[in-house]
Amino acid sequence: MKSGLNGQQKGRRRILPVAALLLCAALFSALGVWQVNRLAWKRALIAHVNEVSTANPVEARLLPMAPSPRDLADLEYRHVWALGRFEPQGTTLVSALTERGAGYWVLAPLRMADGRAVWINRGYVPLGSTALAEAAQTPTGEVAITGLLRKTEPKGRFLQANVPAQDRWYARDIAVISATRGVKGQAAWFIDAQGPEIPGNPIPGLTVVQFPNSHLQYALTWFAMALLSLFAIRLVWRRVP
């Protein structure tokens, strides 16, 4: 009789830690499955971007000016080209941190033949360089620009929001920049210009097309923790007095 009571008491003492470990194992397994799904999504994204960024360029006029968020995500990094004339009064310097150091992106609106405008990131100029003054002098006449389509950046940089009233820009927020510069009929996206580096001009082609992909390591870590939780259940079952 006493032996039966001791067995029941031992079982009750085991219930709480075993239940907690089972919950942990289930949670860790779910996180592992989530990371596996994220891995598949990231691989598909990388393949898509590699395909569209190296394909033959599409004319900007053929693309929607205000695509839905889902369509815009599909359009990003697509190889595009645009033909038009720059509007010098719209030129805007946006703070930039690049592989070449701190500086500015030089943005200018390009008015196309159909009357619509698309903002062009002409490239990068370093801080304190003589190229800053030259960068503000946008080319005149009709120009053709080839580059990668990019999404607008309405959220700004971490801890640094745009201050339009002071003409201080930290993010390429096309809607706000357009409103501040008085540019009408603009696309909701912009083009990162590509091309050869020309002395005295903004440096194009610095678009970062890289996506960190550590989801496999994360998945393996979560699954390992789930297995450890199951192993801990075995220890608890054997050693709880």
DSSP state of 215: H
- Cα-Cα end-to-end distance for the chain: 18
pLDDT for the residue 76: 92
Predicted TM-score (pTM) of the model is: 0.79
Alpha carbons within 13 angstroms on the beta-carbon side of residue 125 total: 23
Q: Using CB atoms within 10 Å of the CB of residue 174, give its burial: 0 to 12 exposed, 13 to 18 middle, 19+ buried.
A: buried
CA–CA separation, 150 and 78 (whole Å): 8
Q: What does the pLDDT read at residue 10?
A: 57
What is the model's pLDDT at position 132? Answer: 63
Per-residue model confidence (pLDDT) at position 2: 45
Residue 105's CB is within 10 A of a number of other CB atoms, namely: 23
* CA atoms within a 13 Å half-sphere pointing along the CA-CB vector of 74: 7
Which residues on neighbouring strands pair with residue 240, listed in sequence order?
none
| Per-residue pLDDT at 181 | 94
Distance CA 21, CA 44 (A): 35
Pairing of the two strands 58-59 and 79-86: parallel
* 8 A C-beta contact, residue 194 and residue 202: no
Q: Which residue type sits at 233?
A: I
- Furthest-apart CA atoms within the chain: distance in Å: 101
CA distance linking residue 148 with residue 116, whole number of Å: 18
pLDDT (tens place) for every residue of the chain, 241 residues total: 445 445 555 556 678 788 888 899 999 999 999 999 999 988 888 888 888 888 999 999 999 999 998 898 889 999 999 999 999 889 999 999 888 888 999 999 999 999 999 999 999 998 876 566 666 677 888 999 999 999 998 877 677 889 999 999 999 999 999 999 999 999 999 999 998 877 778 889 888 887 888 989 999 999 999 999 888 888 877 765 5
